[in-house]
Amino acid sequence: MGRISDETLNAMRQSIVDGAPDTASDLARRAIAAGVEPLEAINDGFVPGMHAVGEQFARGQMFLPDMMASAEAMRAAMAVLDPELKKQGADRPVAGTVVLGTTKGDIHEIGKTLVGTLLAAHGFRVHDLGVDVSAEQFASKARELNADIVGVSALLTTTMRNQRGVVEALVKAGLRSQTKVMVGGAPVTRQWAEEIGADGYAKDAMTAVALARSLMEQKPVPEPA
Amino acid sequence: MKPHFQLLEKELIERILGEAFQLIENPGVRVAPYVFDLLREAGIAVKDGVARIPEPLARSLLARVPREFYLYDRKGNRAVHYGGNDVHFDPGSSCLNILDAESWQPRPAVSSDLVRLVQVVEMLPQFAAQSTAVVCNDVPAEIGDWYRLLLVLWHSEKPVVTGAFSASSLHVLLELLAIESGGREALRNKPRAVFDVCPSPPLNWSEFASQNLVDLARAGVPAEIVSMPLAGATAPVTLAGSVTQHAAECLSGIVIHQLAHPGAPIVWGGAPAIFDMRSGRTPMGAIETAMLDVACAEVGKYLGLPTHAYLVAGDGRVIDAQVEMESGISAVLGALAGINMISGAGMLDFLACHSIEKLVIDAEAIASAQRLIEGIEARGDSLALAAFAQTGLQGDFLKLKETRALFRKEQHFPSAVIDRGLHASDTTALDILQRARQRVEELLASYQRHPLAPEREEEMLAFAQREGKKAGLEGLPGIPTLEYARETGLIQ
Ligand code: B12
């Protein structure tokens, strides 16, 4: 197995920061050809690029279209590296699996999508159910994907109460002990999150990432199968 | 001459409309099952939820839209003229929060906040119309939309800019209006309210929006399309591209609406905004947002339609120089553009927060804008010669009859919110926030409620209590006699 030169690692990192999918997948392919461990390319090459992007965004120095391009570059690199990992019988290390959506009756999607993009940028596997999502849909997707976290967005005072419905649906499905719930959206407050028995609230996308990370830490370590 | 501001050349407007007509045919417009049959019967192909509207049909329906209409006050007088270059202002709508005037912190709004706001707006001539400005967090969320209208109808006689949050609640709002007007026919003949209806960008008339358009058209109550392209996120990044999308959304909305009832009144309106590429927020105070609003209205005017826009809102979280700069600039631009209804005054924090104190400050910006569009007039036979003939080089203009006769026409006198050095000794110490707070209290003290006819009042209360009860509401917060109904045993 070859080791990756610092120069290549930097180039990988830079391809993500620059949002250059062709360069990223090219670097990934060349690394594989050189016999590099896919995990090393991911963890030491590409992921640090995404972290840099996230940090720059949090400081107001990164623009959203650029960040979208970075996410695209990350996907391009992973499209090459994921199958290699699979060949080894390994799985991509994920920070956690999140099922995300906007609650029933509500079609506001921008904030939710932004949260999803940043979570994905920080290593979470995100399944975005879109808008107008029923509590049952949240629960069944959470079961299907064995989700660690369910994220529910609501922008209307009238649809906010459906966030409570999602918590209840998870209880009903017997998933509540293993699935954390985080909520957000303009009318949502920390107090509301507590009232409905959610595990956390975040006021914006970067805080949502921090919240998701801390929720992962709170999760009980799964029993070995 | 009335001063007028124009941002788009004729050629560009025609290009915008040309592309907008193309867009509604290809890729077409997403519509809801509620209108499939209506559209198909008119010969529009609807497949997989997407309607492809041919330009000739859209143009023929466009021709049926009334070029002007009025909103009426409670007494039945014409109070708002939608049409031509007439300009009116109303406060922003449906805020979640209110800026608390004690702590200057936002908090969830309650009924008593809306009542205060309505009473202040009632006393300010700058606002031709009320709006259902905040959602009252002390009533169950599912009745939040109509409850606002109840309180406005109860405490105001001005026309109302309102809107439903769902398809079914529209009928409760319409019923409240019908009760106050004395029946559905009376409401149709002299509508007191206009309803905002929002398509979802891009090019999507959702179930609830489609249904609102159709039901409003059939009820003969004016609809106001509030198309909201967000440049770069839910619409093309260029301002011209977003204006084109706005036009396509309005055109397709008009098609649905006019097919439901030809000749029903509808407004070419919107709340377009840019999408801030650093934060993902939608800044209402950005100059590009104001440019979008003005340009969208210009396209509507080119078609000869009544217009609406969202301006006079600022994005900061507290009332400060930023917020008032943003609000003042856009008030002036909207007025100069001749937009019939300009909503948004009083709003902060990206449309999430309302402030009564900001409303009274905005009212001063609006008054300035209103003065501006009166323009400069040549009064009398000479401009200066006659005055000089009387006073010569001595320059005693203050003593002239002409001065006394005309100064009120020439100058607008702002309220004490604006520091003109009038009370040098006792008010210089007050800053603008304190002056605004004082003004609010003065306006509230001068407010007097005009009751409805007793039988209508009773009917409205009975209806509201019945509807409220379904959602578990007891008593009617914001309506004094029934506020504490539970304790006084008024509720059976
Ligand atoms: C854009 C917008 C729309 C667009 C949405 C476009 C789209 N594709 O998403 C359109 C035009 C479709 C729309 C429609 C309507 N809207 Co609207 N809309 C807005 C507006 C101006 C901005 C929302 C936004 O995108 N903000 C930018 C994003 C980045 O911020 P955000 O959503 O808050 O998300 C951030 C955080 O909240 C958090 N977050 C969000 N979700 C989540 C989830 C999790 C899990 C976590 C942890 C964090 C998190 O992180 C995000 C990123 O930083 C708000 C005003 C506001 N200030 O919120 C009104 C607003 C929410 N809308 C409002 C209304 C009334 C409506 C309509 C009912 C209007 C009508 N009468 O037709 C319809 C609703 C239709 C429906 N059934 O959903 C009201 C709500 C009032 C109320 N009391 O509930 C508001 C407050 C504006 C107002 N004053 O009128 N709207």
User: Residue A108 Cα, ligand 1 centroid: separation in angstroms?
Assistant: 5
Please spell the DSSP secondary structure of A82-103, one letter per residue: HHHHHHTT-----SEEEEEEEB
Instruction: Give CATH superfamily name and number for B62-374.
Output: Trimethylamine methyltransferase-like (3.20.20.480)
pLDDT of residue B427: 52
pLDDT of residue B75: 95
Other CB atoms within 10 Å distance of the CB of residue A100: 27
Contact B278 A157 (CB under 8 A): no
Contact B82, B71 (CB under 8 A): yes
Cis preceding linkage at B201, omega within 30: no
Contact B233 A205 (CB under 8 A): no
pLDDT of residue A223: 55
Confidence of residue B486 (pLDDT cuts 50, 70, 90): very low
Residue A186: name the closest of B320, B280, B287 by CA. Answer: B280
pLDDT above 50 for B396: yes
Contact A158 B144 (CB under 8 A): yes
Of A57, A62, A158, the CB nearest to B165: A158
Nearest Cα of chain A lies from the Cα of B9 at a distance, in angstroms, of 30
pLDDT exceeding 90 applies to what percent of chain B? 92
B→A contacts (Cβ < 8 Å), by residue, are 96, 135, 137, 141-142, 144-145, 165-166, 200, 206, 230, 232-234, 275, 277-280, 282, 352
- Find chain A residues with C-beta within 8 A of B145's C-beta: 158
- Find chain B residues with C-beta within 8 A of A65's C-beta: 232, 277
Question: Tokens at residue B388, please?
Answer: 């000089």
Q: Where do the domains of chain A lie, and which CATH numbers do they carry? A: 6-87 (1.10.1240.10), 96-218 (3.40.50.280)
pLDDT above 50 for B488: no
Rounded to an integer, the average pLDDT of B433-461 is: 96
Of B141, B206, B280, the CB nearest to A110: B280
Candidate from B200, B203, B355 with most ligand 1 atoms within 8 A of CB, to mutate? B200
Candidate from B30, B93, B94, B145 with most ligand 1 atoms within 8 A of CB, to mutate? B94
Rounded to an integer, the average pLDDT of B18-22 is: 98
Rounded to an integer, the average pLDDT of B289-313 is: 98
Q: Which residue stretches of chain A have pLDDT < 70?
A: 1-2, 220-225
d(CA B48, CA A34): 48
Rounded to an integer, the average pLDDT of B55-75 is: 98
Candidate from A64, A99, A108, A190 with most ligand 1 atoms within 8 A of CB, to mutate? A108
Other CB atoms within 10 Å distance of the CB of residue B272: 30
Q: Which atom of ligand 1 is nearest to the CA of A155?
A: 61
d(CA B431, CA B87): 30
d(CA B196, CA B20): 21
Q: Which atom of ligand 1 is nearest to the CA of B198?
A: 72
Of B96, B137, B277, the CB nearest to A65: B277
- Average pLDDT of chain B is 95
Q: Please tell me which residue of chain B has the smallest CA distance to A57.
A: B278
A-B Cβ pairs (cutoff 8 Å, strict): 43
| Nearest protein Cα to ligand 1, atom 28 | A111
- Find chain A residues with C-beta within 8 A of B234's C-beta: 110
Give the distance, in angstroms, between the CA of residue B295 and the centroid of all CA atoms in the same chain.
17
Q: Which atom of ligand 1 is nearest to the CA of A111?
A: 34
Q: What is the ipTM of this complex?
A: 0.86
d(CA B255, CA B35): 11
Other CB atoms within 10 Å distance of the CB of residue B172: 20
Confidence of residue B489 (pLDDT cuts 50, 70, 90): very low
pLDDT above 50 for B326: yes
Contact A110 B234 (CB under 8 A): yes
Cis preceding linkage at B159, omega within 30: no
Query: How many CA within 13 A on the CB side of residue B161?
Result: 34
pLDDT digit string (tens) for A23-59? 999 999 999 999 999 999 999 999 999 989 988 988 8
> Both ends of chain B: CA-CA distance in Å?
62
Say whether pTM exceeds 0.90.
yes
Of A60, A105, A157, the CB nearest to B135: A157
Other CB atoms within 10 Å distance of the CB of residue A140: 15
Q: Which residues does a 6 A CB cutoff place in the pocket of ligand 1?
A: A 105-112, 114-115, 151-153, 155-157, 182-187, 202, 204-205, 208; B 93-96, 135, 163, 165, 196-198, 200-201, 208, 228, 230, 234, 280-282, 350-352
pLDDT above 50 for B492: no
d(CA A212, CA A218): 10
Rounded to an integer, the average pLDDT of B208-236 is: 97
pLDDT digit string (tens) for B249-291? 999 999 999 999 999 999 999 999 999 999 899 999 999 999 9
- Find chain A residues with C-beta within 8 A of B206's C-beta: 107
Find residue B273's DSSP bridge partners: B230
User: Residue A151 Cα, ligand 1 centroid: separation in angstroms?
Assistant: 16
pLDDT exceeding 70 applies to what percent of chain B? 97
Q: Which atom of ligand 1 is nearest to the CA of B135?
A: 83
Contact A183, A154 (CB under 8 A): yes
Find residue A126's DSSP bridge partners: A98
pLDDT above 50 for B490: no
Give the distance, in angstroms, between the CA of residue A159 and the centroid of all CA atoms in the same chain.
24
For residues B203 and A107, which has the higher predicted lDDT (pLDDT)? B203
Contact B277 A60 (CB under 8 A): no
pLDDT of residue A23: 98
Contact B214, B38 (CB under 8 A): yes
pLDDT digit string (tens) for B85-119? 999 999 999 998 999 999 999 999 999 999 999 99
User: Residue B351 Cα, ligand 1 centroid: separation in angstroms?
Assistant: 9
Residue A29: name the closest of A88, A94, A77, A85 by CA. Answer: A77
Contact A175, A138 (CB under 8 A): no
Which residue ranges does chain B devote to CATH 3.20.20.480?
A: 62-374
pLDDT of residue A1: 54
**Contact partners, residue B82, CB within 8 Å, separation at least 6:** B68, B69, B70, B71, B194, B222, B265, B267, B306, B307, B340, B341
pLDDT exceeding 70 applies to what percent of chain A? 96
Instruction: Pick from A156, A162, A192 the residue to mutate for testing the B interface (most B CBs within 10 Å).
Output: A156
pLDDT of residue B480: 85
d(CA B122, CA B124): 6
- Find chain A residues with C-beta within 8 A of B230's C-beta: 110
Contact A110 B165 (CB under 8 A): no
d(CA A127, CA B72): 50
